[in-house]
Amino acid sequence: MQIVNIHDAKTQLSKLLELVQSGGDVVIAKSGTPIVRLIPYAAPKRKIAAPGAMAGKIWIAENFDTPLDEAFDCLKMDAP
């Protein structure tokens, strides 16, 4: 593992990226305290569905947005 301070990381970024690509481990530190670790990018394993991909697979009832006032009547407490 190679620990590099921020200033050196800025000036040697290309070199550090090559090191990570080849399997090396790089930690960037601020005043000697590690703050970040460089790791190789890995593509997400699960793809995100495109907008509209669920068209025709989901339905919403006609009364979906009907007020639910009566449904909460059982929760009202009478004042003493």
The one-letter amino acid code at 25 reads: D
Average pLDDT over residues 56-70: 85
Q: What is the mean pLDDT of the chain?
A: 89
Q: How confident is the model at residue 80 (pLDDT cuts 50, 70, 90)?
A: low
Residue type (1 letter), 35: I
Q: How confident is the model at residue 47 (pLDDT cuts 50, 70, 90)?
A: confident
Flag whether 79 is in a domain: no
* Residue 9 lies inside a defined structural domain of this protein: yes
- Domain residues for the domain of 29 are 2-38
Distance between CA atoms of residues 13 and 72, nearest Å: 60
The letter for the amino acid at 13 is L
Kindly state whether residue 10 falls inside one of the protein's structural domains. yes
Domain tally for the chain? 1
Which of 46, 26, 43 lies closest to 35 in space, CA to CA? 26
Residue 77 pLDDT greater than 80, yes or no: no
Residue 22 has what pLDDT? 95
The pLDDT, as a whole number, for residue 26 is 96
Beta bridge partners of 33: 30
Does pLDDT of 55 surpass 80?
yes
Please indicate, yes or no, if residue 71 is contained in any of the structural domains.
no
